[in-house]
């Protein structure tokens, strides 16, 4: 994740972003934040795809054989995603699942 440097005036106005910017200096916190952010982005993609397909959480849950509460947790990024679960969701929403491995943006691959 690219670090966004805020102008001093804006940083003073937004104490949350200032606090986050400070916390992200800690490598351990930054790793945890990045992992949570990725889950949240994936959950949002699932939410958008489900909405575009005109499905409720309950409908999607029935289609893939799980509970509505699991779909809710998926969409909120509060779920330990498995490849199998993501494949089921992708098929139910008529989407293609793509997983890739790549070097972090801030490091060069050997």
Q: How far apart are CA 41 and CA 88, in angstroms?
A: 18
Domain tally, the chain: 1
In-domain check, residue 61: yes
Q: How far apart are CA 57 and CA 93, in angstroms?
A: 12
Per-residue pLDDT of the chain in tens (110 residues, 90 and over written 9): 566 665 666 655 677 777 778 877 888 877 877 777 778 888 999 999 999 999 999 999 999 999 999 999 999 988 788 999 999 999 999 999 998 888 877 755 55
Q: Which domain holds residue 62?
A: 8-92
Q: How far apart are CA 72 and CA 70, in angstroms?
A: 5
pLDDT for res 107: 55
CATH code, 75: 1.10.260.40
Q: How far apart are CA 45 and CA 14, in angstroms?
A: 27
In-domain check, residue 77: yes
In-domain check, residue 22: yes
In-domain check, residue 84: yes
Task: Indicate the angle between helix axes 68-75 and 57-64, nearest 10 degrees.
Answer: 110
In-domain check, residue 101: no
CA angle 101, 104, 107 (to 5 degrees): 135
């Amino acid at each position: 994740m690219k670090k966004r440097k805020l102008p001093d005036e804006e940083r003073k106005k937004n104490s949350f972003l200032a606090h986050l910017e400070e916390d992200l200096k800690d490598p351990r916190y930054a790793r945890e934040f990045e992992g949570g952010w990725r889950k949240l982005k994936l959950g949002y993609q699932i939410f958008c795809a489900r909405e575009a397909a005109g499905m409720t959480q309950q409908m999607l849950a029935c289609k893939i054989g799980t509970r509505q509460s699991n779909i809710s947790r998926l969409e909120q990024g509060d779920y330990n995603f498995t490849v199998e679960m993501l494949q089921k969701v992708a098929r139910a929403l008529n989407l293609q699942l793509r997983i890739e491995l790549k070097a972090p943006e801030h490091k060069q691959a050997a």
